[in-house]
Amino acid sequence: MKLPPVTAALTLSLTGRYERQGTEAADGIRLWAQAAGVRLTIVDDHGSSRAAIQAYGAWLDAVDLLIGPYASGLVRAVVPLVRDSGRILWNHGGSADDLAQPGIACLPAPASSYFDGVVNEAADRQVSRIIVVQAPGPFARAVAGGARVRASKRGIDSAAIEASAVEAEDLTKAAVLVAGPFEHDAAVVRGLHDRGQSPALLAAVAAGISAFGQELGEAAEGVLGPVHWWPTADKPRIGPSGVEFAAQYQRRTGREPSYPAALAAAAGYLAHAAYDLGLEAEDLPGWAISTMLGDFALDAAWHQVGHRVTTIRWHGGRMLPSAR
C-alpha cells in the first residue's frame, strides 16, 4: 500500500515588503519539495502578520511539516501559535536573537553575530571608530547591539545613530555598519554615495542580497555584508552540496541563488529528516547534522550554535567572500 506524501506548508511574502527575499525562498524550497516528493503549500502573506497567523492556524492539525515565513517580525507573530500547539516551527527566515526558544528550530545564525566578521576587519585595518546606523525594531537592535559588543571586545569605540543623522557625521576615519531592512540599508548606502561621504569601511545587512548590487549599481562597490550561505562542494549529511544546489537553482530560475533560497531549502531538508527519524521537539537540542549551510546544532536553550555567517564584499558587480 502506497503511503500518502509528506505535506509541508509555509507563508512567504511573494508580494509586499519582503517580496525580494520571499520569492527567492519560494524558489529554493520548491526545489527541495520536488526532490523530496513532498506536497508543498505556499501562501502569500503579503508581509502581513495577520495573514501569516491565519494560514498557520489552519495548518496546525493538517500539515506534517511547518516551515516558517521570511522576516523576524513575521516569524515572531506565528511563534506563539505554533509553539503552544506543541508543533515545531522550522525557522529559516528570522534571525532576531529572541526567536531562539523551545519549539523554534532556527537555522540562521543569530542577528547579533551578523557583523562579527566586519568588526574584525575594521580592527585589522586599525579603524578607531564604528558608527552603526540602526533602523527601528528588535532585529536591527540585535544586529547593532552585537556589533557594538564585538567592537568593545576588539577595543574599538562605537556609537549607534539613526539614518537621519548620517549626513552630519565625519566618516573619513570611521567604519559605518548599516543595520535594518533592505529599503533602509539601500537608502543609507545610496545617500552616502550620492553625497560623496567615504567611510573607511562600509557594511550593510542588505548587502547579502543579490538585489542590493542590482539596484544600487556602483554605489554597492566595496560594501561588505553578511550571508548565511556561500556555495561549496562540501557534501553534507542531508541534501545536496551548495554547488549542486546553486546549479539546480540556476537551471530552474536562470538566476544565481542568494542565501534566502538556500536557507529555505535547508529548512525543508532538516524538517523532513527529523520527521523521518521520528524526532520530537525535546530531541532537537543536541541533534548534530549538516546541510548545504554547514553545521546545524541547537544548544539546550535552542540557540543556533552550529552555523556562522560569512562576510562578503561587492566587487565588479558581484558578491565575493571577503578576504581579510
- What pLDDT is stored for residue 1 in this prediction? 60
CATH number at residue 175: 3.40.50.2300
Nearest C-alpha neighbor of 52 from the set 68, 41, 28 = 68
Task: Please calculate the CA angle 244-247-252 and round it to the nearest 5 degrees.
Answer: 125
Tell whether 172 and 259 lie within a shared domain: no
Domain membership of residue 219 (yes or no) is no
In sign, the C-alpha dihedral spanning 59, 70, 260, 102 is: negative
- What pLDDT is stored for residue 183 in this prediction? 95
- What pLDDT is stored for residue 253 in this prediction? 94
Tell whether 236 and 104 lie within a shared domain: yes
Domain membership of residue 284 (yes or no) is yes
Tell whether 132 and 41 lie within a shared domain: no
- What pLDDT is stored for residue 4 in this prediction? 85
Beta strand pairing call for 129-134 and 157-161: parallel
> Which pTM was predicted?
0.91
Domain membership of residue 69 (yes or no) is yes
- What pLDDT is stored for residue 322 in this prediction? 84
Domain membership of residue 290 (yes or no) is yes
Tell whether 193 and 169 lie within a shared domain: yes
Tell whether 100 and 163 lie within a shared domain: no
Tell whether 103 and 163 lie within a shared domain: no
Low-confidence ranges of the chain (pLDDT < 50): none
The domain in which residue 156 lies consists of: 114-205
- What pLDDT is stored for residue 52 in this prediction? 98
Q: Is residue 297 within 8 Å of residue 107, measured between CB atoms?
A: no
Domain membership of residue 214 (yes or no) is no
The domain total for the chain is 2
Tell whether 44 and 137 lie within a shared domain: no
Q: How far apart are CA 8 and CA 92, in angstroms?
A: 14
Q: In 95-241, which ranges are continuous DSSP H helix?
A: 116-124, 138-153, 182-195, 210-216
